[in-house]
Amino acid sequence: MMKNWFKSGTPWVWLNAAAISICLIMVIGLVGLIAVRGMVHFWPVDIYQFQYQDGKGEKTIVGEWVDTVILTAAQAKEAGYPILNNADHLEQRLIKTGNRDLTGMDFRWIDAQYIKNEQTPEDLIKIERREWGNFYGRLKAVKENGKIIAEGDAAYPEVLPRIDHARYLYEQIEHLQKKEIGAINYALERLRLKQRRLELEGALDEQAKQEIAREKAEYQQSYQKFRSQIAKLNQAIMRDSLVAETGNGQTVEIPLKKVVNLTRPNAMSIGQKTAEYLRQFYAFVTEDPREANTEGGIFPAIFGTILMVMLMAVLVTPFGVIAAVYMREYASQGFITRVIRIAVNNLAGVPSIVYGVFGLGFFVYFLGGNIDELFYPEAAPAPVFGTPGLLWASLTLALLTLPVVIVSTEEGLSRIPKSVREGSLALGATKLETLWRIVLPMSSPAMMTGLILAVARAAGEVAPLMLVGVVKLAPTLPLDGNYPFLHLERKFMHLGFHIYDVGFQSPNVEAARPLVYATSLLLIMVIIGLNLFAINVRNSLRERYKALEN
Amino acid sequence: MSEIIEKHMTEKQHPMASPGYQKWRLMKDKLAAYGVTGGGLGVIVAIVLIFFYLLYVVYPLFVAPSAEPVKTYSVPVVASGKTVFLSMEEQNEIGARFTDTGHIVFFRIADGQPIKEEHIPLAENQTITSFNHGRLDKGVFAYGLSDGSVIVVKTHYKVTYPDDVRLITPEIQFPLGKQPIQLDTQSNPLTLLTLRLGEDESTIVAATADGRLMLSHFIREESLFSDEGDFERTDTALDIDASQIAFMLLDKEQRDLYLANRQGDMMVFDLTDKTAPKFLDKQHVSNGGEITAMEFLNGELSVLIGNSKGLLSQWSLVKDEHNHRTFEQIRAFKVSDHPIVQISPEQRRKGVMVADNTGLVAIYHTTAERELIKQTLPAAISALSLSPRANAFIAQTIDGKIHFWHVDNEHPEVSWKSIWGKVWYESYPKPEYIWQSSSSSNDFEPKYSLTPLVFGTLKAAFYAMLLAVPLALMGAAYTAYFMAPEMRKLVKPTVEIMEALPTVILGFLAGLWLAPFVELHLLSIFSVFIVIPLAVLCFSWCWQYLPKSLRQSIPAGWEAAILIPVIILATWFAFIISPVFETWFFDGNIKMWMKANWGIGFDQRNALVVGIAMGFAVIPTIFSIAEDAIFSVPKHLTVGSLALGATPWQTMIRVVLLTASPGIFSAVMIGLGRAVGETMIVLMATGNTPVMDLSIFQGMRTLAANIAVEMPEAELDSTHYRVLFLAALVLFVFTFVFNTLAELVRQNLRNKYSSL
């Protein structure tokens, strides 16, 4: 019976089916894992208050309950944790306690067996700060110029508008410092380079010198103006502060300048939590990172990724299409073309890091070095294009995705029925006209598919970018209001690299982990979206050609 | 009819039909043809460029070094005495000639013009009886005098830029004071000496004419006001007969003292305690001749010994398992059949230049075991100096001439053996494969063995393929042959999405989520591999006994969908029972148990994690190509087989898989290519330690990850930079070969199908 069953091969078919099921489970599980972990990051979770008594005495621990791990007794023993009452397992909870300025750490593991009781009192507050991470505790009082103006329950409603005001002032200061003073610094640097250039050319006469000195003085003057404005704002922003108490009764005073946001998650309704969730998400995609990228938003990374990918698309499309058109329409379909086709196909399989190495050696050091020598002698010894940057990253990725575009376009060209071409030629159109008016428009969805796939690939690629232009923290965006607006030589931030850097290079991996999940989710959504779109375009295209052929 | 048309045309000629326009059209067509051909070829050239550029950067590694004579001139200021030592300054502009009368003649290297002459201050009754150099890169020299005293000088080259032109001015300094230091209280002449000066302490060892060996140790005393002169001095006499000793070396740590006589008996002393030198080891080191020259290799961990038979050998103190140091020969080079008279080590790399007594000079690199340059000068050489950057040398011949040569020797560290073979590095107990590329110090011996990296690459790829190949191929076979078309329409895009997932996300999950998870649930992970197949078999066995109505409610080809809950349940079950098994069989902790019973260590970021994560990345690649190959097997083959009474499974195995096997082969090849070149996953999911250990519980470092880690720090055009390019080239060639093979197989298959 059993033997016959095995002989029929049915179990093998089932096992084969299991293989594809496992693959599906893995994909869906992985995307689900990232989706869940990425999405909960913004949800305002309850703040717990644990009465905790271990061998060292009793204390109150306040914080967010992040994770739970259950160890078997033996594993606990290996790790050196004592187990009470001969329990067969040990539950450990990871609590985000914040208050890094006071305790030196953001997280702590606690043993569930020592917890006397746990509560979620409504008056617990969470303060997101510009430095030292979150604060958890209770709000005690609000101060203005050092004098208490509200205490106890009255403090919470009093502090919120003041935080908004302080944030408004802070944004003004930021704007002045980054935009206005940044522009002045940029202009001064350009002046310096201009002077150096004239000097090298031997054209630095008295008149030019005076001109430069005059301009410099002008800039200095407006710089002074902004500085005094900033000083005034700084004074205004230092007016208010709040007094808060940690779980253990330690009182701290926090100037509102340092406060990004203050919430009482335990007192929030579902609706309020949703609003807070959306606000947090919005802040995540629009704000700059804080605290070595482990907190705040990822706007520069999103911006850098999009800009780089767009540049790459502009570079790769014409070349990819021309190469495909050449191979399919112009080259004679002989041995050479076959070899070329194999080579192009192979390039898609060449490791991306090899492209990175090529980009660094050829584009950055060779091309960039020569460009610097020819066009930017005044900047020496500081490199302009002779260092990794946006242009080189885009070029490298264009080269990397070239095979994708070529292969996809070629496929599109090959699917166009011969009859269509012949009809056009028979009506007296030249080859170019046939190509331009008939073939290319018909195959444009195929090119589109190729381009979308290329963009999706480029958006997720990190290894080559690490060599040719991505940095963990770029001081300025590659696109800004200073002439020539698009700064191709600048380094930029990238979502994929951000994930790598924050997840693996940051000093506070535990604190940054939710942020990495959120970034991953964003990246994955973009890439899956692009791919699904490309697949759809391709499928509808195939249907259309089938109809044409019949 | 035709008349009408003719009339029509003549009456109203369309402007576009004018001959000029026709010409323009044709011209445009031609131009476009050229343009597209040019553009297309350009793109293809750009692609080829990648390969050639990599080759171009790597090529200098394998260029044979060369040396060429620049100038020959007479020894400057012959009247100042016989040359005992020559030295060169950094920029190869100024040389110094130390004479036996205590003169130091600085001269222009380019033409031998004397620039300046200094001499050491000697009293009436003092004559020079011995001379030696300290660390070459520090320019320290010492004279032993006839009254048992020592005078130490240091050459210093001051660099200034008056009018933007470099000007180098030589001068001499007296780091231990201008007054000779009385080393031997009995005032016997010093016949041999060696010394090393440090920041805080200095040591001088000297042999006296009556056969005693004196050691003086100076410790600089904290002084705010003066740089010179304040030393606390300790004297010790070594209890050996020094009359036979001909060579003496003290390392820069002032710890190991090497003494040798001409017959080849070498004694090593440990001077950690300067007041009580300890005998370490005694060896016969002459290799069947007499010792004719002895110097340190750069870094001063190895001693280079030249003998009268023309053999140059490298010896070093090697630690054995009891941490006891013994003096052993590391390697040897046969220079010629004549005695080696001069040894001049490089000052920044592990190279060395030697000369024998016939005028032959040769440059070797010890780590790479390469003979780089061999040239012959017209006469025997009496003094030799390799420049600090090792790009030039000057040699004085016995006929009173100085020869100035340029040396082009950029990358001596690389040889076939140093890249792929086992190399005995300094301070290692035996030859090993090691990758350790950079360090801040000049004394560092770079270790460029690609073997551990290639090993790591293959290991990571192997474990990834172990997971990916069965899953992908079985899944492909099912999807292409058994699956219902509706489900296939869902599965294919899902797998395509799987392929598109950025590897940085896979790597991040592998490193931060999977690795700790696996560490905590190790046994569960392994049991999953057993439980799932068993559960699937059990389920399918039970399936046939289910009521027919239930079975028929699910159409054929949807088995994979039904199995999803089964597999999830089985996984859950595996995670439930594993802790129980762990308590029963493995004392509750399988990692400790493995360590105790099998001696297997566990690294959190290990090959298992990489295998799972990279397997995940490779599955879709293999799946897509294999599925394509299986799906396009001509239908009449399978129909024929089924008609002859074969079961679907038999048809699958005997007909479909056999026909599609070249396609499956190419799928596996391409998958392997991807696994080999994958960077981010291994970078994030392994510890990146270049170990050679096959264990699934240990990490590795792959070629790709190594490039990603080290490339940003590699200095442009340095050996390290080029070796990393070599690693990239290896990756490129490897994947290119595999992919081409796969592509050819696939194209042949396609032709076969179309003929079927």
pLDDT in tens, B390-440: 999 999 999 989 999 999 988 898 888 888 989 999 888 889 998 988 766
B415 shares a domain with B476: no
- For strands B256-261 and B370-376, give the pairing: unpaired
In order of A85, A426, B14, the CA distances from B8 in angstroms are: 109, 21, 10
Per-chain mean pLDDT for chain B: 88
- State mean pLDDT over A260-284: 91
Regarding whether A249 and A376 lie in a shared domain, the answer is: no
Alpha helices in A41-133 (DSSP H): 73-79, 100-103
Write down the pLDDT at residue B1: 45
Q: ipTM > 0.85?
A: yes
Same domain, A116 and A151: no
Give the pLDDT band (50/70/90) at residue B732. Answer: very high
Q: Do B677 and A352 touch (CB under 8 A)?
A: yes
Chain A interface, best mutation among B16, B30, B36, by max A CB count within 10 A: B36
B103 in any annotated domain? no
Task: Return the higher-pLDDT residue of A163 and A249.
Answer: A163
pLDDT of residue B228 exceeding 70: no
Tokens of B247: 């060579």
Range of the domain at B667: 451-519+604-753
What residues of A are in contact with residue B725 (Cβ under 8 Å)?
Answer: 357, 361
Distance CA A123, CA A372 (A): 61
Find out whether B295 and B345 touch, Cβ atoms under 8 Å.
yes
CA-to-CA distance for B25 and B14, rounded, in angstroms? 15
Nearest 5°: the CA angle A456, A462, A465 is 110
Q: Is residue B645 part of a domain?
A: yes
B611 Cβ under 8 Å from any chain A Cβ: no
Contact between B690 and B434 under an 8 Å Cβ cutoff? The reply is yes
| Residue B453, both tokens | 């990296």
pLDDT exceeds 50 at position B80? yes
d(CA B684, CA B736): 25
A342/B744 Cβ within 8 A: yes
Over its C-alpha atoms, chain B yields an Rg (Å, rounded) of 38
Q: Does B740 touch chain A (CB under 8 A)?
A: yes
> A451 or A546: whose pLDDT is higher?
A451
Query: Which residue in chain B has the smallest CA separation from A454?
Result: B500
Q: How far is B382 from chain A (nearest CA, A)?
A: 44
**Local confidence band at B331 (pLDDT 50, 70, 90 cut-offs):** very high
Reported as a pLDDT band with limits 50, 70 and 90, residue B686 is confident
In this structure, the answer to whether residues A509 and A381 fall within a common structural domain is yes
Gap from A534 CA to chain B (nearest CA, Å): 10
CA distance B460 to B693: 11
A500 and B743: CB-CB below 8 Å? Answer: no
Looking at the domain assignment, is residue A127 inside a domain? no
Structural domain includes residue A294? no
Most A CBs within 10 Å, among B43, B652, B668, to test the A interface: B43
Are residues A239 and A152 located together in one domain of the fold? yes
CA B3, chain centre distance (Å): 85
Q: Which of B473, B587, B725 sits opposite A74 (nearest CB)?
A: B587
Query: Which of B501, B579, B740 is nearest residue A72 as measured by Cβ atoms?
Result: B579
Say whether both A350 and A261 belong to one domain: no
Q: Do A246 and A347 fall into the same domain?
A: no
Chain A residue nearest residue B744, CA to CA: A342
- Higher-confidence residue of B570 and B40: namely B570
A88 plus A145 within the same structural domain:
no
DSSP result, B352-387: EEEEETTSEEEEEETTTTEEEEEEE-SS-EEEEEE-
Q: How far is A77 from chain B (nearest CA, A)?
A: 9
Q: Kind and range of the H or E element at A96? A: strand A89-96
Mutate which: B24, B59, B505, vs A, most A CBs within 10 A = B505
Per DSSP, the three-state class of A492 is: strand
Rounded average pLDDT over A136-151:
89
B 477-536 near A (Cβ less than 8 A): 477-479, 482-483, 491, 493-498, 500-509, 511-513, 520, 532-533, 536
Classify residue A6: in a domain, yes or no.
Answer: no
Nearest residue to B98 (alpha-carbon basis) of B115, B113, B111, B80: B80
Q: Contact B33/A330, CB-based, under 8 Å?
A: yes
Q: Which whole number is the average pLDDT over B374-394?
A: 92
Interface test with B, best of A357, A408, A498 (most B CBs within 10 A): A357
Q: What percentage of residues in chain B have a pLDDT greater than 90? A: 48
Domains held by chain B: number: 4
Query: Which run of H or of E encompasses A214?
Result: helix A206-237
What secondary structure letter does DSSP report for B738?
H
Q: What CATH number has the domain bearing residue B684?
A: 1.10.3720.10
Assigned domain for A494 exists: yes
Q: How far apart are CA A74 and CA A77, in angstroms?
A: 5
Looking at the structure, tell me whether residues A336 and A426 fall in a common domain: yes
Residue B463's closest CA among B143, B698, B149? B698
Bridge partners (DSSP) of residue B293 are B306
Q: Using CA atoms, how far apart are residues B271 and B276, in angstroms rounded to an integer?
A: 7
Quick check: B737 contacting A, CB < 8 Å? Answer: no
pLDDT at B157 over 60: yes
Instruction: Determine if residue A84 is left, alpha or beta; phi over 0 gives left, psi from -120 to 50 gives alpha, anything else beta.
Output: beta
Containing structural domain, residue A144: 139-268
In chain A, % of residues over pLDDT 70:
99
Nearest CA to CA, how far is B712 from chain A (Å)? Answer: 6
DSSP conformational letter for A344: H
C-alpha distance from residue B518 to each of A208, B510, B523, B608 (Å) = 69, 10, 9, 9
Which pLDDT score, from 0 to 100, does residue B16 have? 66
Query: Which residues in chain B have Cβ-Cβ distances shorter than 8 Å to A463?
Result: 503, 679-680, 683, 704, 708
CATH number at residue A508: 1.10.3720.10
Identify whether residues B163 and B270 lie together within a single domain.
yes
Q: Are residues B46 and B145 in the same domain?
A: no
pTM of the model: 0.89
Whether pLDDT at A408 is above 60: yes
Tell me if B524 is assigned to some domain: no
- Ranges A309-313, A338-342, B145-149: which has the least confidence: A338-342
Mean pLDDT of the region B486-499: 89
Q: Which residues of chain A lie closer than 8 angstroms to B589, CB-CB?
A: 72, 74-75, 77-78
- A10 falls within a domain: no
Q: Which residues of A touch B708 (CB under 8 A)?
A: 353, 356, 463, 466-467
A114: left (phi over 0), alpha (psi -120 to 50) or beta: alpha
Residues A313 and A454 in one domain: yes
**Among candidate residues A382, A163, A169, the one with its CA nearest the CA of residue A261:** A163
With a cut of 50, say whether residue B138 has pLDDT above it.
yes
Q: Evaluate if residue B353 carries a pLDDT over 90.
A: yes
CA angle B711, B717, B719 (to 5 degrees): 75
Residues B39, B146, single domain; the answer is no
Would the CB atoms of A500 and B684 count as touching at under 8 Å?
yes
Length, in residues, of chain A: 550
Asked if B495's CB is within 8 angstroms of A74's CB, the reply is no
CATH of the domain at A107: 2.30.30
The answer to the question of residue B129 being in a domain is yes
Report yes or no: A401 and A309 within 8 Å, Cβ to Cβ.
no
Question: Smallest Cα–Cα separation from B248: which of B283, B198, B207?
Answer: B207
The arithmetic mean of pLDDT across residues A471-497, rounded, is 86
Q: Kindly give, in sequence order, each residue whose CB lies less than 8 Å from that of residue B117, ignoring residues fewer than 6 positions away.
A: B77, B80, B103, B104, B105, B106
The DSSP line for B102-142 is SEEEEEETTT--EEEEEE----TT--EEEEEE--GGGTEEE
Residue A140 φ/ψ, nearest 5 degrees? -105, -45
Residue type, B677: G
Q: In which residue are the tokens 């021309």 written?
A: A322
If asked whether residues B269 and B364 sit together in one domain, one would say no
Q: Looking at residue B687, what is its pLDDT?
A: 84
pLDDT at A304: 93
Is the per-residue pLDDT at B229 higher than 70? no
Q: Concatenated DSSP letters for B425-491? A: -TT-SS-B--EE---SSTT---EE--HHHHHHHHHHHHHHHHHHHHHHHHHHHHHHHTS-HHHHHHH
Structure tokens at B573: 């079950």
Rg of chain A in Å (alpha carbons): 31
pLDDT digits (tens, 9 = 90+) for A253-263: 999 888 988 99
Q: Are residues A104 and A172 in the same domain?
A: no
Residue B675 lies in a domain: yes
Same domain, B200 and B244: yes
Tell me how far apart the alpha carbons of residues A95 and A75 are, in angstroms, rounded to a whole number: 21
Compute the count of residue pairs across chains A and B with CB atoms less than 8 Å apart: 332
Q: Provide the token pair at A335.
A: 């041995």
Residues A112 and A215 in one domain: no
Confidence of residue A550 (pLDDT cuts 50, 70, 90): low
Tell whether B144 and B223 lie within a shared domain.
Answer: yes
Q: Are residues B614 and B749 in the same domain?
A: yes
In the predicted structure, residue A486 carries a pLDDT above the cut 90: no
- Per-residue pLDDT band for A104 (boundaries 50, 70, 90) equals confident
pLDDT at B504 over 90: yes
**Predicted local confidence at residue B223, as pLDDT:** 56
Reference A259, options A408, A67, A130; nearest CA is A130
Provide, as residue numbers in chain B, all residues whose Cβ is less than 8 Å from the Cβ of A8.
Answer: 647, 649
Do residues B432 and B465 both lie within one domain? no
In contact, B699 and B688? CB cutoff 8 Å:
yes
Distance CA B638, CA A14 (A): 20
Q: What is the separation, in whole angstroms, between the first and last Cα of chain B? A: 51
B544 inside domain: no
Q: Choosing among A8, A14, A20, which should be mutated to test the B contact, i.e. which has the most B CBs within 10 A?
A: A20
pLDDT bin (cut points 50, 70, 90) of residue B137 is confident
* Region of poorest pLDDT, from A103-107, A405-409, B568-572: A103-107
CB contact, 8 Å: B45 with chain A? Answer: no
Q: Going by C-beta distance under 8 Å and a sequence separation of 6 or more, which residues neighbour residue B232? A: B218, B219, B221
CB within 8 A of A12, min separation 6: which ones? B649
8 Å CB contact of A358 and B50: yes
Nearest residue, CB atoms, A431 vs list B29, B506, B653: B29
Confidence at residue B584, expressed as pLDDT on a 0 to 100 scale: 84
- Give the model's pLDDT for residue B224: 53
A306 domain-assigned: yes
> Does residue A194 fall inside a structural domain?
yes
Kindly tell me if the per-residue pLDDT of B112 is higher than 60: yes
A18 with B583: Cβ contact below 8 A: no
Residues across chain B: 756
Q: Which of B39, B539, B747 sits opposite A326 (nearest CB)?
A: B39
pLDDT for residue B7 is more than 70:
no
The answer to the question of residue A402 being in a domain is: yes
Measured CA to CA, the distance from residue A49 to residue A63 in angstroms comes to 7
CB A95 within 8 A of CB A110: yes
- Minimal CA–CA distance to A78: which of B593, B217, B505? B593
All residues at 6 or more sequence positions from A214 whose CB lies less than 8 Å from its CB, including other chains: none
Question: Is A146 in the same domain as A115?
Answer: no
CATH of residue B407: 2.130.10.10
Write the residue in B46, B537, B568 that is nearest to A399 by C-beta.
B46
pLDDT (average), residues B657-675: 90
Closest-CA distance of chain B to residue A34, Å: 9
User: Do residues B180 and B243 both lie within one domain?
Assistant: yes
Between A502-506, B5-9, B40-44, the lowest mean confidence (pLDDT) is in B5-9
Model pLDDT, residue B675: 93
Closest-CA residue to B353 (of B401, B316, B394, B315): B394
Report chain A's terminal Cα–Cα distance, integer Å.
51
Please tell me the total count of domains within chain A: 3
Under a CB-based contact definition with an 8 Å cutoff, are residues B646 and B525 in contact? no
Residue A464 near residue A444 (C-beta atoms within 8 A) = no
Among the partner-chain residues B587, B652, B736, the one whose CB lies closest to the CB of A346 is B736
Q: Which of A75, A342, A513 sits opposite B743 (nearest CB)?
A: A342
A12, A72, A77: residue with CB nearest B582: A72
Task: Return the number of other C-beta atoms located less than 10 Å from residue A131's C-beta.
Answer: 10
